[in-house]
Amino acid sequence: MFDLGNPQYQVLFLLPLVVWICYLFYKAWRKRKQIAFADSSLLAHLNPKQSNRKSVIKMIFQFLGMLALVIGLINPRIGTRLETITRKGVDVVFAIDVSKSMLAEDVAPNRILKAKQILSKAIDELVNDRIGIIVYAGKAYAQLPLTTDYSAAKMFLKTIDTDMIPTQGTDVGNAVELALSYFESGDEKNRVLFILSDGESHEEGAIEASTLASDNGIVINTIGLGTIQGGPIPIIRNGVIKGYKKDKSNNVVVTKMDPEMLQQLALSTNGGFIDGTYTKETIDFIKSALAKMEQVESETELFSDYEDQFQWFLGFALLFFLLESITPNRKTLWIRKIKLFGNETK
């Protein structure tokens, strides 16, 4: 298993490239100045011991040294021991509505960012539970399969936005049906689905899908995002609001949270509903819902021990910088005496 100890330093890979480009520009500028000063044969007589190849070799050593140094800072690590760990927890799936109505700003900063904030804080509260993430609009997609890797869950959470699904709409039923595929068959009582949405469902089949979830032992809890009064749907381009969505009559569309629909979804599986306006209360609701679930043992394989590899790359960096420092700019004396095909070796 491969892992990066300091992935934040990956941007430094640009440094050797920038230095190499600057070197090429310098070489081109130097050559133009030399041509303007004198022709190549005269320059060779003025400085017969100068080696053109040695300067390139020195630059290559510098480039490789910087590259090895950057890799050393990133610290690649290799997993050395695979270990099976038995966990006792709940399988929890979060389904996030990413339809355009989630851009409404009737809750701060807007509905979709509020949903991501709630989910991020909920992940911080998990210990041994497995988490999965679904995103849906006009169609549902699996964003993250069930896993205990909470750092990966947060990484996938950052990529969620309202532009990730081209099919617009709000098909809650499809999200519930997809959630069924996350859970293994059986009668365990440790399966819970949280739906974060404004409740505006434009498709049929949501209640039917929730009944199917109940038959499979899945409890659905819903978190409402938005207000009863609602708000307009902003049209955002390059991070700037250009206007608001309008209907065919050129009236601004107002999207409102539908708590009744979300409550029906939850009640059909003996779950609960909460208005997600207040983050702390919502997190307490999630924790309380998980505490009511039966915890089941599950086995997870992971690399429990990683060995740092940075020292190898720092050693290579030191070697390349040493080679660069001891490589002279002039031709080697004994090599200059050797002639190949009538030409003096540079």
Among candidates 177, 181, 183, 208, which has minimal Cα distance to 195?
Answer: 177
Does one domain contain both 291 and 338?
A: no
The percent of residues in the chain predicted with pLDDT above 90, rounded, is 38
Beta strand 140-147 with 231-232: parallel, antiparallel or unpaired?
unpaired
**From CA 208, how far away is CA 214, in angstroms rounded?**
10
Q: Are 214 and 286 part of one and the same domain? A: yes
Please answer whether residues 310 and 72 qualify as being in contact, where contact means their C-beta atoms are separated by less than 8 angstroms.
Answer: yes
Do 186 and 211 belong to one domain? yes
| Residues 182-198, mean pLDDT to the nearest whole number | 82
Region 102-114: mean pLDDT is: 94
Same domain, 113 and 169: yes
326 sits in which H/E element:
helix 310-326
222 and 114 in a common domain: yes
Question: CA 144 to CA 181: how far, in whole Å?
Answer: 12
CB distance 142 to 172 below 8 Å: no
Residues 60 and 110 in one domain: no
Q: Which domain holds residue 112?
A: 84-300
Highest mean pLDDT among 45-49, 163-167, 259-263: 259-263
The rounded distance, in Å, linking the Cα atoms of 124 and 136 is 23
Predicted pLDDT of residue 345: 44
pLDDT at 279 over 90: yes
Do both 268 and 318 map to the same domain?
A: no
pLDDT in tens, 22-47: 888 888 887 777 667 666 666 556 55
Beta carbons within 8 Å of 108's beta carbon, 6+ residues apart: 114
Scan for tokens 């230095």, then name that residue: 19
Taking residue 61's Cβ as centre, other Cβ atoms within 10 Å add up to: 19
pLDDT band at residue 332 under the 50/70/90 scheme: low
What is the rounded distance in angstroms from the CA atom of residue 36 to the CA atom of residue 325?
Answer: 31
Number of domains in the chain: 2
Highest mean pLDDT range out of 34-43, 144-153, 179-188, 280-289?
280-289
CATH no. for residue 262?
3.40.50.410
Lowest mean pLDDT among 41-45, 97-101, 120-124, 153-157: 41-45
Residues 57 and 104 reside in one and the same domain: no
- Of the candidates 253, 254, 274, the one whose C-alpha atom is nearest the C-alpha of residue 263 is 274
**Strongest mean pLDDT among 7-21, 103-117, 144-158, 226-240:** 103-117
For range 54-63, the mean pLDDT: 84
- What is the distance in angstroms between the CA of the first residue and the CA of the last residue of the chain? 46
**Amino acid 148: pLDDT:** 85
| Same domain (yes/no): 71, 102 | no
**CA gap 211, 214 in Å, rounded:** 5
Q: Same structural domain for residues 57 and 139?
A: no
Q: Would you call 302 helix, strand, or coil by DSSP?
A: strand
What's the length of the chain? 346
Q: Are residues 64 and 132 in the same domain?
A: no
What is the enclosing helix (H) or strand (E) of 16? helix 14-37
Residues 128 and 55 reside in one and the same domain: no
C-beta neighbour count of 260 within 10 angstroms: 10
State the Cα–Cα distance between residues 232 and 102, nearest whole angstrom. 10
Per-chain mean pLDDT for the chain = 84
- State the average pLDDT over residues 241-257: 91
Q: What does the angle CA 15 – CA 16 – CA 20 come to, to the nearest 5 degrees?
A: 120
Measured distance CA(240)–CA(280) in Å, rounded: 30
Read off the pLDDT band of 337 (50, 70, 90): low
